[in-house]
Structures are given as C-alpha cells and as structure tokens.
Copies of this chain bind each other. A is one copy, B any other.
Amino acid sequence: MMNAKTSTQALPGQRQTKQRALVYEVIRESKGPLTVPEIHVQVRQTMPRTGIATIYRTVKLLHSSKWIQAVTMPDGETRYESADLGHHHHFQCKICGEVLDIDHCPMSLAPGAELPGGYILHEHEITMYGICPRCR
C-alpha cells in the first residue's frame, strides 16, 4: 500500500538529494522516534561522509513541511517520527534508553470528557517507563 509520502515521492525543499531521502527513510522505518544523533548514526551506515549539520538541516526541513513530527520526551530529549502514524504512545526502557511505539492506548478518558475544574479533554500523550525484554 502506497500513500502520498513514500520515499519515491518528491521531498520538500528545492532539491531532492540522497541525504534527504535517506534521513526520511530512516525515520519512517524506525520502530520508535529517533534523536538527531541516532538518525546520524544510521544515515552514516549508508553514507559515511554525511555531516551532523545535514541531519539537523534536513530534520528541520521535514518537520516544518509536516513530513515528520517532533516528540519531546519528559526528560527534554527531542525525537522525530513519521507524521502519518496513527494514535500511539511511547515506552522508554530505563536501562538501555531505547524508545519505541506502543499501539495499545491505556487511556481511560475519552476525548470530550470533562475533568474536575471544567477542563475539556481533547488530546493526550502517554510516556511509559519500564524494562524492555532485552534488558531483563
């Protein structure tokens, strides 16, 4: 199944480059949101001369063009993931630090619910912490 943003489509910006296509591909194929250094490591496995500045520039471009979205972790770390994912949450392993997507939503309140004090709920984000199978 193809949608409007497969890697064969034009990337945002003036020129289509191998670095931009690869940055977007790495983010798309990740099991969870990635930091800029993590993207850099993966991109260099294919294009070893890629500089960190290119990752920063490309991530900013993809983000401002809505191809990817930023996820700020509660510890302040910024991670990026594809913008066309469905509703999901994040789990971070307290030992290895890896972050991955959790499709199951453990939220007991529905959108539109009224919280004590008269607050109307629209969206929510949940970050879970624990131990991944590899670290057990």
Contacts and interface: CB of A to CB of B under 8 A. Distances in A.
Interface of A: 70, 72-78, 91, 93-94, 102-104, 106-109, 115-133, 136
B125 A127 contact: yes
Contacts of A120: 130-131, 136
Contacts of A122: 94, 128-131
Contacts of A102: 115-116, 119
A115 B124 contact: no
20 contacts: A72-B75, A76-B77, A76-B78, A102-B115, A102-B119, A104-B116, A106-B124, A107-B126, A108-B108, A109-B128, A115-B130, A118-B132, A118-B136, A119-B131, A119-B133, A120-B130, A120-B131, A122-B131, A124-B126, A125-B127
Report copies per complex.
2
A40 to B, nearest CB: 18
Among A104, A120, A129, which residue has the most Cβ atoms of chain B within 10 A?
A: A120
Contacts of A123: 128-130
B119 A124 contact: no
